[in-house]
Every structure is written in C-alpha cells, then in structure tokens.
Structure 1
Amino acid sequence: MALDGIVISNIKHELNEKLIGGRLYKIAQPEADELLLTIKTQNGQYRLVISANASLPLIYLTDDNKPSPMTAPNFCMLLRKHLGNGRIIGITQPGLERILDIEIEHLNEMGDVCRKHLITEFMGKHSNIIFCDGDTILDSIKRVSSQMSSVREVLPGRKYFIPNTSDKKNPLNTNYDEFKNTALTRPVSTSKAIYSSYTGISPVAAEEICFEASINSDKPANCLEENESLHLFNIFSNIMDNIKNNIFTPNIVYIGDEPKEFSSIPLEMFDNCTKYDSVSTLLRDFYSKKDAVTRIRQKSSDLRKIVSTALERSVKKADIQEKQLKDTEKRDKYRVYGELINTYGYNIPEGSKEFKALNYYTNEEITIPLDPTLTPRENSVKYFNKYNKLKRTFEAESVQIKETRAEIAHLESVASSLDIAVSEDDLAQVKEELIESGYIHRHQTPSKKIKIVSKPLHFMSSDGFDIYVGKNNFQNDELTFKFANGSDWWFHAKNMAGSHVILKTDGKEIPDRTFEEAAALAAHFSKGHSQDKVEVDYVLKKEVKKPAGSKPGFVVYYTNYSMIASTFIGEIKQC
C-alpha cells in the first residue's frame, strides 16, 4: 500500500494547483482499466493518467501520450458524451481515504450547467473508476455485481457510497485520548496498531512514525509507557498537521539501483532516499524503474533457471566427490598393512585371522586383519591392490573436485552477473558466456564472437577518481586485462563470486577514502551484497594473472592487501 492516503493527499494538492479551471480536451481509454485525460488550462496542457489496475492502481501527470484503440470502449464514450469540454472545478479526498473525487462542470443537451463526479478508488484488486451524477452511479470502468461483492454493488443506477468495513478512524481528526484508546490498547506491534486503526496510513509510514518517536515498532502497543504514548502521538499529530497544511516531501528509497519504497513524508529511517519536487514525477520514475527491473528479471528467468539447475547439479556432484575423496584417506593404512605382512609374514601361522606387528613408522603395535583362506603373501598383495586402487581414486578425484569447484565458482559468478544486469545487452552477454561454456546450445553458429555492447558501471569517488565495475565475466576480463593499467588498483570480494573493480590512479596517490569506496563497490557487487560488511582483497593490477585456458572472469594473485568493507554505496556518485 505504498500509494496510501498520504500520497493521495499529495497528488490531490498537486492536481488542484495545476488542473482547477482546466477543460477536458480529450478523453481516451488506452487500456481496459485506464483513462488518459488531456486537460487544457491557462498555464498549458496536461495529461492525467488514471489507472484502476488491480496490481498497480495509480494517478499522475505525464507528458507521454498513449495509443488508443480504434473503437473507444463504452465507458470512454459515455465520458466523452457527458464531460467533453467540461471544466474541472474541484478535486477532493474524503478524509485520508485512498479515493480522489474529480468534480467536473459541463453543459447538458439543454444548455444547462450540470456537475458530475469522476471518482477513483485506489484499493488494490478493488480499485475502480466510477462516474457519478450526485450520489447516483452512471457507470464504472469495472462493474461490480452482487455476485462479485456482498459489500457494495457498482452498477448504473445504484447509489454511490464508500464502504466502511474496517471501522478505521480518520487520522486528520483525532486527539490524544482517541489515539490512545483506538490504537494503543491493542496487543499488536505499535506500527501495526497505527496503520490498522487509521485510514490511509501504509505500513512504511507507520514504521517511520515509530522511528521518529524512537520507539521499537515491534513493541506491543498496549505495553507503551505514558511518556512513550504521548511522544508517539506528538509525532503522529505533527505529520497529520503537515498533511492538512499541504506540506509534503515526496521521496523514493533505493536499495542499490532498485526503488523499494516511496512516500510523501520524509523516510528518515532509510539512508538512500531521493527527494522529488513533484509527486507525479516520483510516481513516473518509481513505476518506470520498477517496471524496468521487473522486466529484466522476467527476461532473465530462463537464464536463472539454467544457472540454478547447473549449479545444483555441480554442488551435488561435489558432495559425492568429496565423500569419495574422504574414503581414500585410509589408503596409506593398507600400504602399511602390506609392508608389515611382507616384513613379518614368516611368523604368521597358516589360517590366521589376524596378527599383531610393530608399526615401524609410529613404533606402535597394531592388529592387522587377515583372510584365513589366503597365504601371507596373498594377503599382502590384497592390501597393496586396495592401496593402489584408492591411490588412483584419490588422484582422479582430486583433479575432478578441483574442476567441479571451479565450475561452481564460475556458475556463482554468472548468477551474480544476472543480479547486476540492468539491460537486455547485459543479459545477451551472460547468455553468450553460457553458450561458450556449453550450458546452452547455440542454434546457429555465428561467424564471429558476439560484440560487447554493454558497458561496465562507472562511478566517481568522493576525491574525484574513476572507478569501474564489471557487470559480467566478459566485462571483468575486459576491464582487468585490456582497460586497466599496471599501476591501477584491482578489487574483488574475498573467496566469493563478484565483480572486478578497477580504481584508475592516473599516476596519482590514492586517498584512504577512495580505497574504502572502491572496496565498498566490490563488496556491494558480490555474492555477499546482502551482508552489512564483506572482506575485500585489493592489489595492484600488475599482480593479477589469468591462467591459460581458464573460464571468463577467473584470475589468480599471490600477494594482496585486505580490508573489511561496507556493502552500502548510496553516497558514491554513479556517472
């Protein structure tokens, strides 16, 4: 519920500033559950997107146009008939509900002035756009019959009302006694008590209220001390006063490059917030970036499945190989048995099941099991054969497990590349690497290797030094062995999959802060990005070597420095 009543109030304020007095120039319905209104005002032309999409209801001003179907839907035709060239005279929000009511004045067929209401409800799967004359529904973009909802029918001719199923209070009209008796008597977490007791407050807004009040949001609301309750209400009341006075701070919270949360109140509990002057711009950016991240993840799902399947197979293979390797640890025991039988065999009576001998390697007496049907020499040969078999197994398994571990490390690096990918070009490079490694069959043999069109990430340190981050193993090799100079610094998360990070020195002395920022980038773009801190190796690039025939991205180095680096990179400027 990021699009909560607070954000809706912010949108209402922005639309009132820009659209009041404007005339509806065009009405279009590009999607089954979406309207695009073109409004002409004295200050220019605006386009207003209103969507009742079940998974993504929203409303914002945009500069972009959308193609409309050749034949307009019935709801769109009805709006054009009644509201064409109508004038917007008011945009209101009942309480802090997730509802906007756009009141439009127009002339009917007789030339009389009439008023209609275009009401949008932003309520998840129950979102709707309802066209009303007074409190009578003329039509809606989604018709809801009694079979679909026992709470309220949304059909032409029915009365419009806001369903009250949760008994939540209006947070704009509350006092300390009501706040305490409504929210703080419940045996649930304080944040849940707030957002479940009042309309229009999302969980993230409730968490922020608790954070600003220095109260643990998980603490039961009915366990708060009197001074804590009063302080919490004061913070709550200040935020509500700001909303009533139209004081908003639209901002987006980023985790890495991905937008995670947004609100129209300051989210002080997060470090990486980007503030906006316009809530419409915020919504455009949030949903376009969210959509881009979602689209890339969807397009990478097939590659992720291939990598995860291969990785799971390789891990199981390594487990079996390690077990077989462990079984070979007793090979030297069989060799000693054979040698001792050869040495002391003349003392062994015929048909013996065991005999005791002094192990001249350890000066300890040991008991050697014997097969009574075999001669001492045959028992010795039997133990030497066991030793030689286990020795061959050890040598073969040692090579195989080394190869399997290298394969696991490579697949983990590919999985990390998929997490970093931000464009289809990035995915194309990862796919090419999987093809070259034999995990994907190439449908057609290309005349030449795929051209690298995706570029590494480029950051600028606080001290003005360029830092580059490879997004996949092709870019890692390109950065390390073609782009970097011998005097540049190379960074990589220790003993885990991750990007190669190159710090360009240009022959200058590097400050400690820049080293820390480069290490933070190496930590962030690694398998350990979800941890708070990661150990990072760094070394001059000239010390980094690539073994012949090794997989993309694989390097070795024998002398290096290490540091513990934070995975937070919010303050590092990306170019």
Structure 2
Amino acid sequence: MALDGIVIANVVKELNDTLTGGRINKIAQPEKDELLLTIKNRREQYKLLISAGASLPLIYLTEDNKPSPMTAPNFCMLLRKHLNSAKILSITQPSLERIVDITIEHLNELGDVCVKHLIVELMGKHSNIIFIDDTMKIIDSIKHISALVSSVREVLPGRKYFIPETQHKHNPFEVTLPVFQNEVLTKPMKLNKAIYTSLTGFSPLIANELCHRASLDGEQETASVRESEGIHLFQNIKYFLEDIEHGDFAPNIVYDNGNPVEFSSTKLTCYEEKESSTFSSISQVLREYYQMKDIVTRIRQKSTDLRKIVSTALERNRKKYDLQAKQLKDTEKRDKFKVYGELLTTYGYEAKSGDNSLTCINFYDDKEITIPLEETMTAMENAKKYFDRYSKLKRTFEAVTIQMKETQEEIEHLESISNALDIALSEEDLVSLKEELIQYGYMKRKYTNGKSQKQKTAKIASRPLHFLSSDGFHIYVGKNNFQNDELTFKFAQGNDWWFHAKGIAGSHVVVKTNGEELPDRVYEEAGQLAAYYSKGKDMDKVEIDYTEKKHVKKPNGSKPGFVVYYTNYSLMARPVLTGLTQISD
C-alpha cells in the first residue's frame, strides 16, 4: 500500500502547517464513508477530504467540491452539533501508524471549553473515522464495528478507544541496533519483507528503497546479510527517520511511460531510471496520482463489455484462420493430381486390367514416377478421378485464399480496435469505438422510443492526442480507427510525415512540418509515439515505418484505419514518451 506511515507523516506535517489554529466552518458527508471539512485559517479557506473507503482510504487538502445528500447522515449531523466553529488545536500521528489524530477545541451547550478528537484510521478495509472525547471514550464513528465483525476491537458509541496492536511491530524511532539485528534480520524471509513486517509505517516500497540506499538487494534472504551490511542498513534507516522527524519530505510521483506507478514522500532512488515529478505538496501528489489512476480504472470498467466483444470476436476469427490454413495446406497436393491425370492420359495404354499402379517417366522433370491406380477402374477412369480431385482442390484453394485474406483483415481490424481500447482515456473515446463495432456487425445498435442513437453518437467525437516535440513541432496521434483516417486523409497535408508501427496494430502518428525540414530528433520522438501507442508498447524496441503523407493511400472499400504505402523509411524506436509535451486541446 503506497499510503504508508511515511506519507501519513508528510500529510500530518502539511495539515499542521496549514490548518492548526483554524476553525471548522462546514462539515459535509458526500459519501457514506467520506467527510469533507471546510476550514478557515489565516484569512484562507481550505477543504479537507477524509475518506475511510475500504479500497481507497485517503486524507488530503482538495480544491474540489462534492455534492452532498439532501438529508445529512447521522454521523455528519453529530459532528455539526459538536464541531461547528470548533478550533483545530493540533494534528498528530502516533508513532508512524497510519492514523491521524485531529485534536479539536469547542464550547459545549453550557459554554464550557471541551476537547475532542477526530481519529482517522487509514488501514485498508479496516479504515474508519472515529469521534472520541478527551477520556478516549467513543462518541460515534462513521463505521460501527461490533464484536461479531471484529474480535480485536469494538468500535461502538460508549466503548473505549485504543489502537489495536494486531501486528506487533516495533516503533522505528525506538528500535535499537541489537533489536534490529536479533528480531528483524533473523526472520527467515526476504530482507525487504523482514523490514516492512517488523517496523511500523514501513511499506514494501520504503523497505525496497532503504535496501537500495544501503546497496543491498531487497529480494535477498536475511540469512545472506553479513553483520557489516546489517549495520549499514540500520544506519540508513536511522538517517531516513531523522529526515522524517525534521519534516524533510520530497513528495513525488514516479511514471512509467507517462503512467503513474508509485508515489512517495521521499526521493525514490530505486526508480532513478524512470521519469519522476516532485511536488511542493503531498496533497497535490495524492490528488494527481489517484485522479489519474481513477480515470484509467473507470475507463477500464466502462470498456469491459467492449473488450469482451472484441476478445471473443478475435478468438473466433483466429480459430477460423487456423482451420482455413489447414484447409489450404490440404490443397498443396492438387498439382500432383493434375500431373497424375496428364500422365495417365499419355501413358494409360501401358496399364493392364487389374494393375494397382503405373510406373512411367514424368515429362515435367524426366524422372520416373509411380502413379497409384484403382484396380476396378480403367486408366482413363483413373485419369478422370485425378482431374476431378485436382479441380476440387483448385476451387478450394482459390476460395480459401480469399477467405483467409478476409479473415486476416478482420483480425487486423479487431486488433486495431483492441489497441484503441487500451489507449482510450475518456467516455467519448469509447463511444467512437462502440460505433465502429456496431457499423461492422459486432454489436447491435440500441434504439430508444423507436429511434436510433446514431445521431447522438455522431455528435460525441473525441480528439486526437496532441504533443509538442523538443524542437517545437506539433505531433498528433489517432486514438481509434475513425480518428486515424481523419488524421491521415483530412488533417495531414502531403508533405507532413506519417508514422506507424510495422506489422502490428497501432495509432497513426502525424507530424505537421509547415513546409520545414524536420530535425532528426523529431523523427525519433514521433517514432517513440508510434511505438508507445501500439501493441508493441511492452517491447524493448519497435520497428516503425515512416513516410510522407502523400505516399499513404487507402484502398477502396477497406476498413477504417487500413492503409497501404510502397515508399517508406524505417527506424527502431523505444516505446517511451521522453522529450515530449502533451497539449490539452
């Protein structure tokens, strides 16, 4: 889990710097397990989002408003009763636990000053938001946990609040070298796992990072760690914890080909080879990371039905192609039967009644050949049988050749749709792909009140991806077949350059030249885009064909996205997005 104790420590520092001394102005509960607090402090207004969702527990400052239900839930009403205009005294984190304790001062009904705590537990499916008084008694919680649900701790009004020690981990700030050597490095497991299962707040990511800083392999067994290496690792952990204590954080996101793969509050030296961005705020990191992840997840979910249709059609067509290939192979002996028939027509007089074969000279290669005969038939009848078999296999060969070509084109078309589904970023992209599947008979069009949805669909059109090269040239990438056709044959001009992954499904990439000669680096960057937005995205290198747009043609009646070209250059490109700036049109 990326939201580890280190990230929580960074969040707590940011919230302390921003919200301590402020007053709670509004309390909303937009979701059943989510709070949105509006806090005024130093003439500024801040929004604090707290989510106890099992799949995505979070706490960060946000600028977005979320709609709330017409009737506020009971927990929200309780917090409004106690905490409206309440003052935030402090925001703390016990040890490096994934827990945030917001201490709040308010006036009760009698006007007396009271102190309460809003405890935020960010522990996966055990996440919760718990409201307690200064005696640690639970007033209420956003999730009620009874003894039937948990034998470790009840979270119910009136119960005593405590942090359950279910994992028996060490407080990393208090652990000593002997304890580290005798209780962590003696665990019979991999080194990184020994660290994150022994020290509170450490995730697998942080454990790997600390091993990397100590020049150790996190995947090695603890038994292979020498004493000097263990001491060096312990010292690196202590240096790391000193940075945490001093609030020396470096919020960042690590990207793999433009996709966010990790985030942390410390510089990740174990990902030095990957692209990363540093932010001034951990809240900004959490917003950007999870928004991008959410977009990908949401589009994946919405495209599930389309993916199933495409994968089913692909599997069916690949099986059909294999059967056709087998049929075609069976026709390879057709010419042999033709030769048999011609030789029997010429030398059949040598065959005697009852012979089961005839040996003669093949006048095509002047070699001796033996022709099997049906004993009950004459030589001419055997010749006719061979001519008939030849004719049948020839017709089969011609028909299957055409069928295989059509099946191959259908497979290529479906693979291009599959690739477009992989790079779809919005619902508009999915609408275009759905329309293509409908037009080519893979889906049925839905009708509402007897009217087709085609007109509505036509109005929703996504736009190509737009990038700016290192040298300032505009590069466009089609996200689906309709877009590829429009980009290549309507948008691009004759002297613009066109790129495509060789022999595999992928996007059309167009570089606008404006009549200028392109620097070599632009060809490389356009090739990288063509490789990245293709089925070869996971390969080390992809061969790219490129040519001027005027050499690219579309055969009459061909499927969208299909083109031919006979004059082109080639280059090898890595599927990465380095040196390019994406532009939002």
- Tell me if structure 2 keeps the 8 A contact 1:304–1:418: yes
Letter in 2 for 1:67: P
Aligned to 2:369: 366
Normalised by the length of structure 1, the TM-score is: 0.96
The runs of 5 or more residues in structure 1 that have no matched partner are none
Residue in 2 aligned with 1:241?
242
Give the one of 542, 547, 554 matched to 1:546.
Answer: 554
Q: Which moved more, 1:523-532 or 1:62-71?
A: 62-71
Q: Aligned equivalents of 2:36 and 2:457: distance in 1?
A: 46
Distance 1:349 1:222, change over 3 A: same
> What displacement does 1:27 show?
2.1
TM-score, length-scaled by structure 2: 0.94
Task: Deviation per CA, 1:396-423: give whole Å up to 9, x if none.
Answer: 1101101110110011001111111111
Matches within 5 A, 1:29-428: 29-133=29-133, 134-270=135-271, 271-428=274-431
Amino acid at match of 1:94: P
Mapped to 2, the partners of 1:82 and 1:448 lie a distance apart of 50
Deviations 1:94-118 (A, max 9, x none): 1111001111112223332221111
The 3 A distance-change label for structure 1 pair 350 and 464 is same
Q: Does residue 521 of structure 2 align to residue 520 of structure 1?
A: no
Contact between 2:30 and 2:68, CA under 8 Å: does it hold in 1?
yes
Report the counterpart of residue 537 of structure 1 in structure 2. Answer: 545
Instruction: Tell me the CA shift for residue 233 of structure 1.
Output: 3.0
Inter-partner Cα distance in structure 2 for 1:298 and 1:191: 33
Q: Is the 8 A contact 2:416 2:505 kept in 1?
A: yes
Tell me, in whole angstroms, the C-alpha distance in 1 between the residues paired with 2:457 and 2:178.
72
| Cα separation, 1, equivalents of 2:41 and 2:456 | 57
Contact kept, 8 Å, 1:267 with 1:273, in 2: the verdict is: no
Displacement of 1:471 in angstroms is 0.8
Matches of 1:467 and 1:122 in 2, distance apart?
A: 43
Q: Which amino acid aligns with 1:283?
A: L
**Runs of 5+ consecutive residues of structure 2 not aligned to the other structure:** none
Aligned residues: 575
Residue by residue over 1:278-326, the C-alpha shift from the partner in whole angstroms, topping out at 9 and shown as x without a partner, is 1112212222222222222222222212211111111111111111011
Equivalent residue, structure 2, for 1:457: 465
Q: Could you tell me how far 1:43 is from its partner in structure 2? A: 3.6
Rounded to whole Å, the distance in 2 between the matches of 1:168 and 1:362 is: 85
Distance 2:262 2:128 in 1: 23
% identical aligned pairs: 61
The aligned residue for residue 11 of structure 2 is 11
Report whether the alignment pairs 1:439 with 2:434. no
Q: CA RMSD in A?
A: 1.9
Bigger drift between 23-32 and 456-465 goes to 23-32
Matches of 1:204 and 1:287, distance apart in 2: 17
Aligned-partner residue type, residue 548 of structure 1: N
The answer to whether the Cα contact below 8 Å between 2:543 and 2:570 also exists between their aligned partners in 1 is yes
Corresponding position of 2:573: 565
Q: Matches of 1:344 and 1:235 in 2, distance apart?
A: 93
Moved more, 330-339 or 361-370: 361-370
| CA displacement at 1:256 relative to structure 2 | 4.0
**Partner SS, residue 71 of structure 2:** coil
Deviation at 1:446, TM superposition (A): 4.5
Name whichever of 503-512 and 242-251 sits farther off: 503-512
Residue 217 to residue 448, structure 1, CA distance change in 2 (3 Å): closer
SS at match of 1:450: helix
Deviation at 1:159, TM superposition (A): 1.6
Equivalent pair of 1:35/1:50 in contact (CA under 8 Å):
yes
Distance 1:510 1:229, change over 3 A: farther
Q: Please state whether the residue corresponding to 2:211 is helix, strand or coil.
A: helix
8 Å Cα contact 2:36/2:50 also seen in 1? yes
For residues 217 and 72 of structure 1, the distance between their equivalents in structure 2, rounded to whole angstroms, comes to 48
Q: Secondary structure at the match of 1:317?
A: helix
Cα pair 1:496 1:528 within 8 Å, conserved: yes
Q: Distance in 2 between matches of 1:452 and 1:156?
A: 51
| CA 114–172 in structure 1, closer or farther in 2 if over 3 Å, else same | same
Structure 1 residues 512 and 179, CA, compared in 2 at 3 Å: closer, same or farther? farther
Distance 1:540 1:374 in 2: 65
Q: Is the 8 A contact 1:258 1:293 kept in 2?
A: no
* Amino acid corresponding to residue 120 of structure 1 in structure 2: V
SS in 1 for 2:197: helix
Shift of 1:452: 6.6
Amino acid across the alignment from 2:18? K
- 1:84 deviates by 2.5
Amino acid at match of 1:192: K
TM-superposition CA deviations, 1:220-267 (whole Å, max 9, x none)? 222123443344333333222211111111112233454332111122
Shift of 1:432: 1.9
* Aligned partner of 1:505 among 497, 507, 513: 513
Aligned partners of 1:284, 1:172: CA distance in 2, in Å?
29
